[in-house]
Amino acid sequence: MPSCVTVDVAIVGAGPSGLAFAAALSGLGLKIVLLEVQPETQLRDPAFDGREIALTHRSIRVLRELGAWDRLPPDQISPLRRARVMDGPSTFELGFEPAGEDRLGALVSNHLIRQALYQSTTGLGDVSILAGQPVVACEIGTGAHRTRLRLQDGTDLRARLLVAADSRFSQTRDRLGVGVDVHRLGRAMLVCRMKHDQDHGQVATEWFDYGQTVATLPLNGPEGSGGVSSIVLTLPSPQIDGLLKMDEPAFEVELEKRLKGRLTGLRLVSTRHAYPMAITWSHNFCGDGYALIGDAAVGMHPVTAHGFNLGLRSADALARRVRRAVASKRDIGAVAVLRPYEAEHRRAALPLYEATHALVRLFTNEATPARLARGAALRIAQAARPLRRAVAAMLTDAS
């Protein structure tokens, strides 16, 4: 027989943002539930998915506060000392050094962060996880527990605050009637780990070649050596499909051709994964009884490597607003409580979102005038030290 469950906070999506938000609210006397379509076995032991996350100092601080950072294997935390941007066949590079830190941040595999956050959350007595249990309907009514969710097994769930954290293609956002701008780019991103002859020096590279974009992210080698990198190749989707179908020797030869001597002796040391590229911007980040965090609020282009950091920042910002509301005995689902979160996250996200748009438009334009402008833009930026310091501060994000 279907049951009725009443909670204070219902979070749809037990990815990093949802887990971080739940953990951040623990200890406030709230009853919190995480709803996740994946089975709990996948949450407990997520598989390697190819994605390496460039964590800022702010994100590292948040993960420490949540008890997740110390759960990461130390040898799987790769220092990121420097970053550079290159264009086409030119050897000129725009470099970014850490601003007031010894490194820009650290690279950690997405599946390890998810696992650490899950482990930090499952031990909390006021947080429960309903895994393998899709939400099939939701609506906002009236009263303190104004949000009503219907689960696939017929359970009727009532909450004071609903938080959507279920990806940039959030079904929860759609059911709430929140509009969203979606830009499908017609491209896909292939990610994998490869060994190579050169020492990467813990430097990340974003290379806007003609017809493709390649990022190399420096990872710790098996013995702490500098010869393993995550390769991120962006191409039109049909070309990515072809690369996935190649056997390993052919794939290694093809990647070495595409890197044009920048890395040699490439050997595949992981599975290959591909992700279609789309960016999203939700029209609202909150409303009466609900809020959006993570990719459900803003789905960033991966070129800045800041999507994860922005999602973690949104979870932290919303949790601060809810904690203040609890301390002052205010309604945690009230618009007056949630609007300041929306304003704060818009200020943090919009400049980065718009700058990314401009960057991608310029550096993927193959017309001759645009190619000339690309090289000129890098040289102007290299000469503008205040600009480079500002970008480095954004990348470090130690506030």
Question: pLDDT of 267-281, one tens digit each?
Answer: 999 999 999 988 899
Integer Cα distance of 394 and 399 in angstroms:
10
**Portions of the chain given CATH number 3.30.9.10:** 187-276
Give the CATH number of domain 187-276.
Answer: 3.30.9.10
Model pLDDT for residues 2-41, shown as the tens digit of each residue: 588 999 999 999 999 999 999 999 999 999 999 999 999 9
Res 1: pLDDT: 40
Is 4-78+108-182+278-396 a CATH 3.50.50.60 domain?
Answer: yes
Q: Which two tokens stand for residue 190?
A: 């292939």
Integer Cα distance of 149 and 11 in angstroms:
11
pLDDT band at 293 (very low <50, low <70, confident <90, very high): very high
**Portions of the chain given CATH number 3.50.50.60:** 4-78+108-182+278-396
Check the CA dihedral 13-17-18-19 and report its sign.
positive
Average pLDDT over the chain, rounded to whole?
Answer: 89
Give, in order, the Cα–Cα distances in Å from 18 to each of 32, 49, 288: 11, 18, 19
Integer Cα distance of 276 and 280 in angstroms:
13
Q: Nearest Cα to 89, choosing from 374, 384, 395?
A: 374
Model pLDDT for residues 193-240, shown as the tens digit of each residue: 999 999 999 999 988 888 899 999 999 976 545 699 999 999 999 999
Residue 325 has pLDDT above 70, yes or no: yes
